[in-house]
Amino acid sequence: SGQLNDLAVKAGLKYFGTALGEGVINSDSQYAAILNDKSMFGQLVPENGMKWDATEPSRGQFSYSSGDITANTAKKNGQGLRCHALVWYSQLPSWVSSGSWTRESLTSVIATHMNNVMGHYKGQCYAWDVINEAINDDGQSWRDSVFLRTFGTDYFPLSFNLAKKADPDTKLYYNDYNLEYNQAKTDRAVELVKIVQNAGAPIDGVGFQAHLIVGSTPGRSQLATTLKRFTALGVEVAYTELDIRHSSLPPSSSALVTQGNDFANVVGSCIDTPNCVGVTVWGFTDKHSWIPNTFPGEGDAMLYDSSYNKKPAWTSVSSVLAAA
């Protein structure tokens, strides 16, 4: 059909996927039509619905209404599902982040959370992001959180061990951003994988979020070199939250071409890396994006413009996949 998931599968990837915006899917029919097309997106991930604040807002009170939007959409369409995210400092309800815990009591909280949430989605998740964003932006140290304060780095293997018990069949991922630049933060992620492995705990994958910037995205071979640092450790890799934003708006026509080249380099690096399993974009239209809220004045990071026209980036991705 020439759509991106079909091309990705022909190129040897397992999927080309997208995040699903829970607040958008039922209110924007053009959005829904593209998202529901399996030849375009072979896998979905909930943008917010499976996070701790959505699934266990108060202790022992579980809610799956938001997460089920994505799980049920994927099921209905025959699409795969990535599941996101379990142990994360953000979107963590205050009963967890401000609780006073011992190792024992927080272990039980994490286990209960995983047993319920992973149990609810058992058999549906290709992968779970077990730990998300545990590294400080400068790459020099571990990110502060109730988990780090309670366990030190022991929470890395502990989380993966508990996740394995809760769902033995899903792939267990570490997921973070700015790993793409192959600098200190990347070194720290390699260290995290080794900490987990040296403790004898299971880790199957590393997710490169790839929230990137037009004109500052590394080249295809540099990106592949970085991915291979992780596959050399015996884990798979994936791009999990790809978007490439313009740092000033509106973009010029040449900036749109650069954006397309940057997208092609990211997708191409996955094609070039055995055990890079797929690419997920964090949204697909400039009409709906998390970016302007976080980076005011920046954006237009997606494959479709805000009127659902395919941008040069769409064509660049389709070309790089077709050429594989």
Task: Report if residue 90 touches ligand G3I, rule: CB under 6 A.
Answer: yes
Known catalytic residue: 241? Answer: yes
Query: What binding mask, one character per residue, do residues 203-242 give for ligand G3I by CB under 6 A, x or -?
Result: ------x-------------------------------x-
Please tell me whether residue 26 binds ligand G3I under the rule CB under 6 A.
Answer: no
Degrees, nearest 5: CA angle 22-23-26: 85
| CB of 48 or CB of 170, closer to ligand G3I | 48
Catalytic residue among 22, 47, 56, 133: 133
Transcribe 213-224 into DSSP letters: ETT-PPPHHHHH
CA distance 135 to 280: 21
* Stretch 47-86: interaction string toward ligand G3I, x if CB under 6 A: xx--------------------------------------
Site track 278-307 with ligand G3I (rule: CB under 6 A), x = hit: ------------x---x-------------
Among 2, 12, 23, 234, binds ligand G3I (CB under 6 A): 23
Closest residue to ligand G3I, based on beta-carbon distance: 290
Cα–Cα dist 213/245, whole Å: 5
Q: How many residues bind ligand G3I (CB under 6 A)?
A: 9
The whole-angstrom separation of Cα 185 and Cα 19 is 24
Could you tell me which of 85, 207, 86, 89 has the C-alpha nearest to residue 148? Answer: 89
Q: How far is the CB of 104 from ligand G3I (least distance, A)?
A: 29
**Radius of gyration for the chain, computed over Cα atoms and rounded to the nearest angstrom:** 19
Closest to ligand G3I by CB, 11 vs 214, is: 214
- CA torsion angle for 212, 262, 129, 181 (degrees, to 10)? -60
Q: How far is the CB of 134 from ligand G3I (least distance, A)?
A: 12
CA 295 vs. chain centroid, Å, equals 19
Q: CA 127 → CA 5, 174, 313, distances in Å?
A: 18, 10, 27
Active site residues: 133, 241
Q: Which residues bind ligand G3I (CB under 6 A)?
A: 23, 47-48, 90-91, 209, 241, 290, 294
